[in-house]
Structures are given as C-alpha cells and as structure tokens.
Amino acid sequence: MADKIVLWRPMYDQTGHKLLTDAGKDIVIVDSSDAQELVKELQGAKALWVRTPERVTEDILDAAGDLAIVSTSGFGTDNIDIPAATARGILVVNHQGFGRTPVAEHSLMLMMAALKQIRWGDSSARDGSAWNQRTGLDIFELEGKTVGLVGLGYIGSELARKLIHGFNCRVLAYDPYVDPRLALTSGVTLMNDLNAMLSECRILCLCAELTDETRNMISTEQLAAMPEGAVVVNAARGQLLDLDALVKALDNGPVAAAGLDVVYPEPLAPGHPVLTHEKIVLSPHIAGMSVEATNRLAHSAADQIITALGGQLPKFPLNPAAWEGPNARRPG
C-alpha cells in the first residue's frame, strides 16, 4: 500500500507533487485553513507538508497517529509545535539556505522602494497628481548609507554582501549567536548592543528567526533609538516587529518609511492602519517565492519526505531525537 502524504495547501511549485507521486506516494491536498478538514485527511497519513501561515498544533499531531514526519514549506518553523512533535516521535524538517538569494533581493527592493517613495510615486503617476508635486520630495539614495541588520545568518550575510559590494554601504549587525569570524570576513561590524546599533542606522533590516527571544524585539524603545528619517524593512517574520509601535514612529518620528513583506497576523484585518499608511510599502509574504527558490524548495521537500519514509534521516532534521526515543515513529 502506498504511503499517504498530506499537503496542507499545494506546494508553491507543484514539481514537488510529481516527485512524490513518481516515487509511488499517494498525496492528498487540503486546500483550506480548516484544521478539522486536515485532521480528517491525516488518518493513516505518514507525512505532512505544511505551508505558512497554517499552524500544526499539538491537537493536530494528536489526531495523526501514523505520522512520521512533518515538513515545513521553507526555513521558518514557528508554525509547527516542535516539542509536541518530538514527544510523539515525529520528525520535523525544514529547508535551509534556499531563501538566501530571493529574500536578500526582496529586502533590497523594499529598502529602495521606501527610500524612493515608490508607493506615492506609483499611485500619483497613475492619477496624474505627481506632476504638481515634483519639488521638495524626500527621495534618497541607498549608496553609502549605514544599514543595520538584526540577524547575520543565511539571509543577513547575503544581504550584507550585496549592500557592501553593490552600494558601498556601511553594514552593522546585531546577532549574539553568530560566529564573529563570519562578520569579520564579510566586512560587517558586529555590535553587542542593539540600541547602540540602531542609533547609527539610517536603515534597519530584520533578518532574524522568530523565537521567544526575538518576538517583538523591535518596539517603541528600539524605534525611538533610531535617527530621524530612518527606514525599517522586514522580510523575515511578522512578529519580530511591533506594528503599533511602527505606526506611531511613522506618524511622530523618527521613522520616515517602512517596507514590509511580513506582518502579524497574516492577513491583517481590514481597516488596520498599516494597510492604508502612505509611508509603508507592502508585499504579501512573497520574498522567498521566486520561481528558482520554490523549485528548489519543492525538490528539497520531496527528497526529505521520501528519504524519511524510507527510514533514513533526511538532510535537515530539526529534532533528530524524536526518532531515537521510545515513541519514535521512524519507519523501518
């Protein structure tokens, strides 16, 4: 009997679907946020692939008695209860390094869009009002600016490289866990104090993972530490940034503009001030969704699921101990 694999939402690149079926797997797609519909389909399933923002909770895992592996859609894992999975002997995998190029590029785009007032420029060019507003515009260059990065991992280090070599920027970084040698070889100045870094940054870009430590790490105090005219960019995780504090900093200073690919919750409720704010450029959590990256992610997901269902440890296990304890569901 073929192994049953449930996909909670279709893969971004459906090459992954074909790879799984070609390997003799039976795939079922749940294209709904309804957790009860998912639970129904998880009966007898050996693997679950889940796309953000759907959340794999302890209750869902309890309802999946045959589940051996859960795969994320990308790098982030904050939508999966990993301790609960480990306790039940279920392996969790992610996909590391595939968002490095597209998310770094998208972060650069948001910086440029904010500095160049693209939100205003696009709408006013379309309605014709721009032609009477072409004096005194606060449009700035990225060249030579001081940029502060929170997080210097896969994406932060790639973004630093592009900023330094492409735009001659001075790049600072706050990351208590990074090897200082990486910063040194990248030409980045590593800062030990977040607020001290923020005080020197014309542009702040968030590149960190979401953890209990980083949740809402940029709020009123941190934004107030930035110089007048600052720009804030987030293409990492929505909960890193306090949106209420951001709106106040945009309205009252010191922040002049922001570029957001991620928010919390997603989507925001109609009428949320972020959605209509003239100083905020938005995109719908697509920074990592280039054609090239989603194809690589599809291959990684299919390869890791197939490997795991064959009883072997896949490439990027996040909780290998799950398959070593008395409750391990390692196939074999």
Q: Cα(178)–Cα(166) distance, rounded to whole angstroms?
A: 23
Element (H, E) at 255: strand 255-260
Q: Which two tokens stand for residue 242?
A: 């306090």
Long-range contacts of 172-177 (CB under 8 A, 24+ apart): 172/146, 172/147, 172/148, 172/197, 172/200, 172/201, 173/148, 173/149, 173/197, 174/148, 174/149, 174/150, 175/149, 175/150, 175/151, 175/208
Give the three-state DSSP class for 41.
helix
Structure tokens at 287: 């920074």
Handedness of CA 110, 285, 317, 207 (dihedral sign): positive
Paired tokens of 97 = 């390094």
195 touches 224 (CB < 8 A): no
* Furthest CA-CA distance within the chain: 72
Q: How far apart are CA 253 and CA 222, in angstroms?
A: 12
Helix (H) or strand (E) holding 204: strand 203-206
Q: Nearest CA to 317 among 91, 51, 80, 48?
A: 91
Q: Which residues are catalytic?
A: 237, 266, 285
User: Which residues are within 8 A (CB) of 248 and not within 5 positions of it... i.e. 6 or more apart?
Assistant: 220
Please provide the size of the chain in residues: 332
* Three-state secondary-structure class, residue 48: strand
Burial 17-56 (b: 16+ CB within 10 A, else e): bebbeebebebebbeeeebeebeebbeebbbbbbbbbbeb
